[in-house]
């Protein structure tokens, strides 16, 4: 793991007596692509704004490269932001927008011109210097906003839902574009989004947040395959979220039927949450499997079929498969032990997130 660059230490923040962030602690490393992911109102944008210097935390401190920057104004920080709606200066042309930060630093004109040309080339908009921002499409404005930020050579680039206003195709293109940019620049990206697909595609590390607390920190694979709690499992992708009882290590009882699994350390006869991804439920037409079920609906989704299967153990599974089974047909249902993810049941809402914070740290994210 690279050197730590940013550290949030016990950050709390509330607006009008609503707690937005509760005791948030987070480390971000050099050259890392970190995504803060969560539903609206989870505190992800506030976290980014605290890092950018636009909000002061009520308590806690922010460190940048070992220095306390909690009360440093935004213009003194070595980071730049790409704002949600781009926030381009509408009364200036593209070149003036990009030159804004360089002019303040007092760089000389030929140098500024070179840097403008270079940054426009980086975002694929060479020759757009004289254009007015309002004459550009959303995707182009987005690129100008990125060029305006990176031309200042920040150590960290903050991106606040930068693709939110773009259409699907453009959004997917921009995801690859951002990955390429990050590799070319070799700087840290802190990215905020509510779109789990974006988070999984681009990030080195995903920070899942809800109600002002971190739910889980991990690589995209970890977050998807090993959700720490029901919220993460439910928010990232689709899932069958089931009640179960951990009979003993590596055996869980769901709806009266024992399923072998690979998780240990949940005690014996303890109630647990169980996650099975829809693509991990295996169906067979022969009716053989751990249990049987009846197909009650089927929808064509392009790459796969999406079905609801009512099983004999009283649970309706959401299933994604490339095989087609007609509605009403009887199928066998089985799940590979590796694909059953066991999670602690929350004791209360606060205890849930708090306990999970500790366990996610305990599992060795901290370097």
Partner 1 sequence: MKSRGILGKIYIFLVMLFLYSPIAVLVVLSFNNSRSRVVWGGFTTKWYRVLIESKSIMEALGTTFILAILSALFASILGLFGAIGIYSMRRRNYRIMLFCTNIPLLNADIVTGIALLLWFVRFLPLGFSSVLLAHITFNIPYVILCILPKLKEMDVHQYEAALDLGAGEAYAFVHILIPHILPGVLSGFLMAVTMSMDDFVITYFTRGAGVNTLSTLIYGELRKGIKPEMYALSTILFFVVLILLILVNLPYERMFSKRTIKKKVNIEK
**Restricting to residues 344-363, which ones interact with partner 1 according to CB under 8 A?**
none
Residue 10: DSSP 8-state: E
User: In terms of Cα–Cα distance, which of 364, 340, 351, 313 is closest to 249?
Assistant: 340
Min dist CB 46 to partner 1, Å, is 14
Closest contact distance (angstroms) between CB of 74 and partner 1 is 4
Burial status of residue 185 (CB atoms within 10 A of its CB: 0-12, 13-18, 19 or more): middle
How far is 48 from 38, CA to CA, in rounded Å?
13
Is there a contact between 174 and 156 (Cβ–Cβ < 8 Å)? Answer: no
Per CB under 8 A, the segment of 72-80, 208-216, 255-263, 359-367 that binds partner 1 is: 72-80
Residue from 73, 265, 302, 326 touching partner 1 (CB under 8 A): that is: 73
- Per the CB < 8 A criterion, the answer to whether 207 and 25 are in contact is no
| CA end-to-end distance (rounded Å), the chain | 7
Minimum Å gap between C-beta 160 and partner 1 is 9
**Residue 124 interacts with partner 1 (CB under 8 A): yes or no:** no
Q: How far is the CB of 122 from partner 1 (least distance, A)?
A: 17
Q: How far is the CB of 174 from partner 1 (least distance, A)?
A: 17
Residue 216 to residues 20, 26, 183, 277, 324, Cα–Cα distance (Å): 17, 11, 25, 18, 36
104/296 with CB nearer partner 1: 104
Q: Which is nearer to partner 1, 38 or 53 (CB)?
A: 53
Q: What are phi and psi of 35, to 5 degrees?
A: -115, 130
93 is an interface residue for partner 1 by CB under 8 A: no
Number of residues that make up the chain: 367
Measured from the CB atom, the residue of 125 and 230 that comes closer to partner 1 is 125
105 binds partner 1 (CB under 8 A): yes
* The pair of three-digit structure tokens given for residue 5, joined into one six-digit string: 């660059």
Over the window 32 to 61, marking each residue x when it contacts partner 1 by CB under 8 A and - when it does not, the resulting string is --------------------xxx-------
Task: Please report whether residue 135 would count as binding partner 1 according to CB under 8 A.
Answer: yes
Query: Considering the complex, what minimum distance in angstroms separates the CB of residue 28 from partner 1?
Result: 18
> Least Å distance between CB 96 and partner 1?
10
Does 173 participate in binding partner 1 (rule CB under 8 A)? no
Residue with Cβ nearer partner 1 (94 or 230)? 94
308 is a contact residue toward partner 1 (CB under 8 A): no
Could you give the CA distance from residue 153 to residue 78 in angstroms, rounded to a whole number?
Answer: 9
Smallest CA-to-CA distance from 272 within 322, 233, 221 is with 233
- Nearest approach, Cβ of 98 to partner 1 (angstroms)? 10
Do the strands 257-260 and 291-300 form a parallel or antiparallel pair, or are they unpaired?
unpaired
Window 194-213: residues binding partner 1 (CB under 8 A) = none
Q: How many residues make contact with partner 1 (CB under 8 A)? A: 27
3-state secondary structure 281-314: EEEECCCCCCEEEEEEEEEECCCCEEEEEEECCC
- Chain residues that interact with partner 1, rule: CB under 8 A: 16, 52-54, 73-75, 80-81, 83-85, 87-91, 100-101, 104-105, 134-135, 137, 148-149, 152
């Amino acid at each position: 793991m690279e050197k730590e660059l940013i550290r949030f230490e016990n950050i709390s923040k509330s607006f009008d007596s609503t707690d937005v962030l509760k005791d948030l602690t987070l480390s971000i490393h050099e050259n890392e692509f970190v995504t803060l992911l969560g539903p609206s109102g989870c505190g992800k944008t506030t976290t980014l704004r605290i890092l950018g210097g636009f909000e002061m935390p009520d308590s806690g401190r922010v460190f940048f490269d070992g220095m306390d920057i909690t009360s440093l104004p935004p213009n003194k920080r070595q980071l730049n932001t790409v704002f949600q709606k781009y926030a381009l200066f509408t009364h200036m042309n593209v070149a003036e927008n990009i030159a804004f930060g360089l002019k303040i630093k007092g760089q000389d004109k030929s140098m500024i011109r070179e840097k403008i040309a270079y940054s426009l080339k980086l975002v694929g908009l060479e020759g757009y210097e004289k254009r007015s921002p309002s004459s550009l499409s959303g995707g182009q404005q987005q690129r100008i906003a990125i060029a305006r930020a990176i031309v200042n050579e920040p150590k960290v680039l903050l991106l606040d839902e930068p693709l939110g206003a773009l259409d699907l195709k453009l959004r997917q293109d921009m995801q690859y574009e951002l990955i390429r940019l990050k590799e070319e620049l070799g700087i840290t990206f802190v990215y905020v989004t509510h779109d789990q697909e974006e988070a999984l595609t681009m990030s080195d590390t995903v920070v899942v947040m809800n109600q002002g607390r971190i739910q889980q920190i991990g690589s995209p694979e970890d977050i998807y395959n090993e959700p720490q709690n029901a919220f993460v499992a439910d928010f990232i992708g689709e899932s069958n979220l089931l009640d179960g009882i951990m009979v003993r290590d590596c055996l869980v009882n769901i709806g009266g039927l024992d399923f072998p699994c690979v998780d240990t350390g949940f005690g014996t006869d303890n109630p647990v949450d169980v996650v099975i991804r829809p693509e991990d439920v295996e169906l067979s037409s022969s009716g053989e499997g751990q249990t049987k079920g009846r197909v009650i609906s089927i929808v064509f989704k392009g790459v796969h079929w999406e079905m609801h299967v009512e099983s004999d153990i009283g649970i309706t599974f959401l299933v994604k498969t490339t095989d087609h089974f007609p509605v009403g047909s009887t199928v066998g249902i089985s799940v590979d032990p590796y694909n059953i993810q066991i999670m602690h049941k929350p004791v209360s809402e606060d205890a849930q997130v708090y306990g999970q914070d500790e366990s996610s740290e305990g599992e060795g994210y901290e370097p």
